[in-house]
Amino acid sequence: MSGDLSPIDKAKFVAAKRAAQMVETGMRVGLGTGSTAAWLVRCLGEMVRDNGLRIKGVPTSTRTAELARQVGIEVISLDEAKWLDLTIDGADEFDGELNLIKGGGGALLQEKIVATASDRMVVIADVGKEVETLGAFPLPIEVIPFGWQTTQALVEETLVSVDVLGRESSLRMNGATPFVTDEGNHIVDLHLKRIGNARQLSLILNQIPGVVENGLFVDICDTVVLGHGDGKVEVRDINDGTVSTDRLDFLESNNLFSDLSD
């Protein structure tokens, strides 16, 4: 069945499979949210079932928690874990300094809390997520529902003074109603096109009343595992400056594609 995957899904799968090899028995692991992170959870579940891997997983969303339990991973809260050995998550964009845009799945707040409570953050992504400059993907900000339109207006006014190309924003919807995060908040997506200074923008946005958190992950990610549709995997470590490549076989993990509902 793995042969039926699209090149992008194959890239996500091999990135997730390679990152799963970084997980060792006894670890407390942050489990990301999104399509690529779901592959990781499946890979870890296979290792739990077939290889005797024993870990405690801290999910970054309710849907990740459900999938983790489904595949046999022990799920605990961040308060129970206190601190994590490793967090593995996807990204919507990343640049050469491993700065990220995250939050396309609406879980940016919990994702950032979990990532910053970890010794190491590993991002898994397909090759299309790499960009020279962040901003083509809309930047999500999580805002409290009370006065969200005022918060949105304040954000747009603030964007006039920062180095971005676009200043439009939109409330994320779920059908006919606003999207609601696991924390009961809304998401406003900023259509910036290009972000000249991600660190500065992140600090400025979080000073605006009503903004809970933004989707810029600056100086948080340590390693990117980049998957290609032909099975090639590239691992880049920002701390030691190393780049390594590998190639993974799709056929080894056919049971990942059975007995699971997405």
Q: Where are the alpha helices (DSSP H) in the chain?
A: 7-20, 35-51, 62-70, 78-81, 108-116, 148-159, 198-205
Exposure of 99 by Cβ count < 10 A (0-12 exposed, 13-18 middle, 19+ buried)? buried
Rounded to an integer, what distance in angstroms lies between the CA atom of residue 56 and that of residue 254? 24
* Cβ atoms within 10 Å of 111's Cβ, excluding its own: 32
Rounded to an integer, what distance in angstroms lies between the CA atom of residue 204 and that of residue 202? 6
Per the annotation, the verdict on 132 as an active-site residue is no
One of 46, 66, 74, 111 is an active-site residue; which one? 111
- Tell which residue, 177, 184, 170, 116, has the closest CA to residue 141: 170
Q: Which amino acid is at 16?
A: A
Where in the sequence numbering do the catalytic residues fall?
Answer: 111
